């Protein structure tokens, strides 16, 4: 076992999570890559540099507590330690008015966006305490907005922020925080542009389309760099807070540590 920090990253198969994993690998961290798509994870693991050790691929649905316990157990068996969690996995659906939402879809959104981070935190917390570890929960500006037709997503992210505040209050040995990654050019935005017009008011759907058309979506690598820095270096005084990815206290430090280019 080497002395590289070990980070579990959920939603790691693509988009923001894959970019977070890329920056962490570049910094020499050991990685457990978690997602439901094992094929995509294997491709990512093959492409990553890994001075921190061969990445561990963990196919898991984080809404299942037993699956999260398995991820933690496999990570410990592979690396011998856990230093940080990046709870990035998230879904936006259902896109529908509350009155039209499928109850099962609404519930599953919270199971991924809120219960998933709880599950992994609960499974790993005793091991994180040993490392005075860090938990970075990827939230959203939607946590503070009443956005029509995405009630589950807004609710789950708002609850995630408050869960993190309570976690920080309870766990003085840990640094737990949430981060807003901005509006990122990922599959979630593609899904919103495709499905939004079926349920959203025309002006709301047009807003998401113009973000893409006008080049206003952030490349995943930019917020991912800030998230990776937080996973490795977030100071204790950040615990319990909700940060923007481009907060200069984070983004300037991340640029200094990681450099401009992911590859």
Q: Can you spell out the DSSP letters for 114-151?
A: IIHHHHHHHHHHHHHHHTT-EEEEE--GGGGS--TTBH
How far apart, in whole angstroms, are the C-alpha atoms of residue 92 and residue 207?
Answer: 16
32, 139, 151, 226: the catalytic one is 139
Catalytic residue among 157, 239, 245, 253: 157
Q: How far apart are CA 185 and CA 167, in angstroms?
A: 30
pLDDT computed for residue 262 by the predictor: 87
pLDDT at 172 over 90: yes
- Residue 39 structure tokens: 């094929």
Best CA proximity match to 139, nearest among 176, 107, 105: 176
* Catalytic entry in 4, 26, 108, 153: 153
Active site residue 139: yes
pLDDT tens digits along 38-49? 999 999 999 997
SS3 content of the chain, % helix, strand, coil (to 5): 55, 15, 30
Which pLDDT tens digit goes with each residue over 199-235?
888 999 999 999 999 999 999 999 999 999 999 999 9
**Which tens digit of pLDDT belongs to each residue from 249-260?**
999 999 999 999
pLDDT at residue number 1: 53
195-207 core/surface letters (b: 16 or more CB in 10 A; e: else): bbbebbeeebbee
List the single range of 39-43, 50-54, 87-91, 122-126 with lowest mean pLDDT: 50-54
- Let me know if 26 is a catalytic residue: no
The overall longest dimension of the chain from CA atoms, in Å, is 55
153 counts as catalytic: yes
Asked if residues 113 and 157 have their Cβ atoms less than 8 Å apart, the reply is: yes
Q: Which domains are assigned to the chain? A: 6-182+221-258 (3.40.50.720)
Of 152, 158, 166, 167, which Cα lies nearest the Cα of 139? 158
């Amino acid at each position: 076992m080497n002395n590289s920090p070990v980070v579990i990253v959920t939603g790691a198969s693509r988009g923001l999570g894959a970019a977070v994993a890329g920056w962490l690998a570049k910094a020499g961290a050991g990685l457990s890559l978690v997602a439901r798509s094992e094929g995509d994870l294997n491709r990512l693991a093959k492409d990553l540099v890994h001075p921190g050790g061969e990445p561990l691929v963990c196919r898991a649905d984080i809404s299942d507590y037993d699956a999260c316990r398995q991820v933690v157990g496999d990570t410990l068996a592979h690396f011998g330690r856990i230093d940080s969690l990046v709870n990035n996995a998230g879904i936006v659906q259902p896109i529908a008015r509350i009155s039209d939402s499928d109850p099962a879809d609404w519930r599953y959104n919270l199971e991924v966006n809120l219960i998933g981070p709880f599950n992994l935190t609960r499974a790993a917390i005793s091991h994180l305490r040993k490392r005075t570890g860090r938990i970075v929960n990827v939230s959203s500006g939607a946590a503070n907005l009443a956005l029509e037709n995405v009630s589950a997503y807004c609710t789950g992210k708002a609850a995630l922020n408050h869960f993190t505040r309570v976690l920080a209050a309870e766990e003085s040995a840990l640094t737990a925080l949430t981060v807003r990654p901005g509006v990122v050019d990922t599959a979630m935005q593609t899904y919103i542009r495709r499905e939004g017009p079926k349920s959203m008011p025309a002006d709301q759907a047009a807003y998401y389309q113009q973000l893409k058309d006008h080049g206003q979506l952030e490349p995943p690598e930019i917020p991912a760099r800030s998230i990776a820095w937080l996973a490795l270096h977030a100071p204790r005084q950040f615990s319990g807070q909700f940060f923007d990815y481009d907060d200069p206290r984070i983004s300037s430090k991340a640029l200094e540590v990681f450099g401009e280019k992911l590859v």
